[in-house]
A and B are shown apart, each in its own frame.
Chain A
Amino acid sequence: MFSVLKIATRNLMRYRRRTLLTALLITVGVMAVLLFVSVSGSFKAMMVGQITDSMLGHVQVHRKGYVASIDSLPLNLNLKPGAVAKVEKALKDIPGVAASSPRVKFGAMFSNFTETTNIRLNAVTPDREAATVPLLPKRISEGTVEEGLVAKGKILIPALLAKGMKVGIGDTVVLVATNRDGSVNGRTFVVQGVLDAISGPGGRDGTIHIDDARTLLRMSEGEISEIAVRVSDVGAVNRVTAALETALGGETNQQGKPVFEVHGWEKLSPFASIARMIDLLTLFVQVILVAIVLVSVMNVMMMAVFERIREIGTIAAIGTPPGTILALFLTEGVLLGIVGAVIGTAASLIAIAGINAAQLTFQFGQQDNLPLHAATNPGSIALISAIVIGVAVFGSLQPAWRASRMDPNTALRHV
């Protein structure tokens, strides 16, 4: 094997310029893919984190049919206390659940005593909500966090509403809401803070204490609209969702229909399609890398075989077995792939360190100055390297096979 490696290496160095150009092409390809994967992967992870940690949570449980009607925030599709207790019990039994937060969601009229507009409200238990969506307190751009998030009798209002209605911290406002029986009730709240808006569902909702919502809506029992769930590992979202579906799937109403519906964040946020698009782009970039490596390695190896036909004839005449001739050419191609993958990976790691050192930022929705943190992992590096080396083998296979099957007599007569 050492001799095959030695001869293959020397043959590569024999056509130094061509070998360097091909290795450079593969290096640039590997760099492009690794940089794209690291930046887009970090961007995606950050965006998913922003969305799930700022408002959605990773998983949500509703009464069956709620999500289909979520735009009208239907109070008649709230979960009753008994159903809530079943969900809470299931959550306790499922490993990987870090926190959960029951919410009452409803629409109301918002008045500053001179003007009135609509507002969507999210009524929460402050400490559980802060544990489930830990970035929510950070969205309070004016005002302060009280009692874990929002104090009773107070309201966090979205920035656009604060600006449009000219309402500031400490101002008193009135919320008027219609309960599910159709009766209207109103209550004053003091503005505790202003929430920065973010893209996606719930990104422009106001927040109040859940007890205030129940008073305002004259709820006689502790019903809720949804339970948001945070999992300890984002990669476990699908597993927890499936476990919840299994645990709650057996619950049916008097008509024998399911009581609950469980959704992962991807089913609830339009950003999921952007995340899928990023995955698709990553795949596309990887396909381009495959094409670069395949074409360049195949071209070099075909040239190598064509230029060395008499040499092939000579070693075949001496008695070199076809398998050894195949190995000689295959090794050349694989070496090209390995060199490109190693140099490309090293260059990518340097470039990633450079990007992070430059502390670049970007804007996403209403959020500005989000740090662009490029990061790669051994898994990605191993995958890209395996693709490059695998494709190099594939690209060398046809020329190497041709060389190994060459008739020595014909090859020796080649001019």
Chain B
Amino acid sequence: MSIITARAVKKTYVAGDVEVEAIRGVDFDIPAGSFAAFVGPSGSGKSTLLNMIGCLDRPTGGTLEVAGTDVGGFTPKQAAAFRATTIGFIFQDFNLLPVLTVYENIEYPLVMVQKRPADERRKRIAALLEDIGMADQAGKLPSQLSGGQKQRVAVARALVGSPQVVLADEPTANLDTATAHRIIDLMRRMRDEFGTTFIFSTHDPKVMAEAETTFELEDGRLTRTTQEASHV
């Protein structure tokens, strides 16, 4: 069963009198629980596609369904509410809140967005901190962490609200190769544990190889879809 369904999805930006077609009518399906990647060079449309799946941007044509909901017509308020319950984000620059500790950064979506009770929050965060191997770093501020540690915290923050889809835009771009692999391993392990669909964008060939399904993009068009044999 597909958790993402795209049919003839287009995205056109207007800059003054000039129209720029970022996505030129793409069709794809991503099954639930996938570990998928959009790959391609800069400007190919990876981030735009990820933003539309994450309801940060709206398609200008076609239909895009996420978790069974057509997200194309969302108002900003509806989009925010949908993201709060359905989607988690991992950013290239980690984007942790610098004034909050590791624990508080992971707790943020549960307190400020989902308003979960304190007891439930404590249990959930303790389990996640164990999963990402940072139980002893819970009181540290982001400024006291390495890049890899920050991205592990970001993975935990993305997963804490039990989203159906986690979107990671170039999650390893600011990490060395070894750390990048550890982060990909962590994400895959989390996928296996929670059944969450992970979709990331990358142009790093080493990271591409880790994905089970890859969608290759070029100039806003989907040029090739590759699936690991076990997922065909």
A contacts, CB < 8 Å to B: 3-4, 7, 10-11, 13-14, 310-311, 313-322, 324, 407-409, 412
**Chain A hits for B161, CB < 8 A:** 319
Bound together, the chains give a CA A4 to CA B112 distance in angstroms of 8
Once the chains bind, are A322 and B113 in contact (CB under 8 Å)?
Answer: no
Q: Which residue of A has the minimal Cβ distance to B92?
A: A412
Given contacts A3-B111, A317-B83, contact A409 B57 (CB under 8 A): yes
**Chain A hits for B81, CB < 8 A:** 319, 321
Once the chains bind, are B112 and A317 in contact (CB under 8 Å)?
Answer: no
Bound together, the chains give a CA A319 to CA B93 distance in angstroms of 18
CB distance from B209 to the nearest CB of A (A): 27
CB distance from B110 to the nearest CB of A (A): 10
Restricting to B93-130, which residues have a CB under 8 Å from any CB of A?
A: 93, 95, 97-100, 108-109, 111-113
User: What are the interface flags for B157-175 relative to A under an 8 Å C-beta threshold, 1 for contact and 0 otherwise?
Assistant: 1000100000000000000
Contact of B56 among A3, A10, A11, A412 (CB under 8 A): A412
**Chain A hits for B98, CB < 8 A:** 14, 311
Contact of B83 among A3, A11, A319, A407 (CB under 8 A): A319
Once the chains bind, are A317 and B56 in contact (CB under 8 Å)?
Answer: yes
Once the chains bind, are A319 and B56 in contact (CB under 8 Å)?
Answer: no
Once the chains bind, are B85 and A319 in contact (CB under 8 Å)?
Answer: yes
Once the chains bind, are B99 and A7 in contact (CB under 8 Å)?
Answer: yes
Once the chains bind, are A318 and B77 in contact (CB under 8 Å)?
Answer: no
Once the chains bind, are A324 and B95 in contact (CB under 8 Å)?
Answer: no
Q: Which residue of A has the minimal Cβ distance to B109?
A: A318
Once the chains bind, are A317 and B54 in contact (CB under 8 Å)?
Answer: yes
B28 at the interface (CB under 8 A from A): no
CB distance from B141 to the nearest CB of A (A): 10
Q: Which residue of A has the minimal Cβ distance to B108?
A: A318
CB distance from B115 to the nearest CB of A (A): 10
Given contacts A409-B51, A409-B56, contact A322 B100 (CB under 8 A): no
CB distance from B50 to the nearest CB of A (A): 10
Bound together, the chains give a CA A145 to CA B56 distance in angstroms of 89
29 A-B contacts, Cβ less than 8 Å apart?
A4-B112, A7-B99, A10-B99, A310-B93, A311-B97, A314-B89, A314-B97, A315-B97, A315-B108, A316-B80, A317-B54, A317-B56, A317-B83, A317-B89, A318-B83, A318-B84, A318-B113, A319-B81, A319-B84, A319-B109, A319-B113, A319-B161, A320-B113, A321-B77, A321-B84, A322-B77, A407-B76, A408-B56, A409-B57
Given contacts A311-B97, A409-B51, contact A320 B112 (CB under 8 A): yes
Bound together, the chains give a CA A408 to CA B74 distance in angstroms of 14
Q: Which residue of B has the minimal Cβ distance to A11?
A: B99
**Chain B hits for A321, CB < 8 A:** 77, 80-81, 84, 113
Q: Which residue of A has the minimal Cβ distance to B80?
A: A319
CB distance from B206 to the nearest CB of A (A): 25
Restricting to B40-86, which residues have a CB under 8 Å from any CB of A?
A: 51, 54, 56-57, 76-77, 80-85
Known A-B contacts: A311-B98, A317-B54, A412-B56. Give 19 more (CB < 8 A). A3-B111, A7-B97, A7-B99, A11-B99, A14-B99, A310-B95, A311-B95, A315-B97, A315-B108, A318-B89, A318-B109, A319-B81, A319-B161, A320-B84, A320-B112, A321-B80, A321-B81, A321-B84, A409-B51
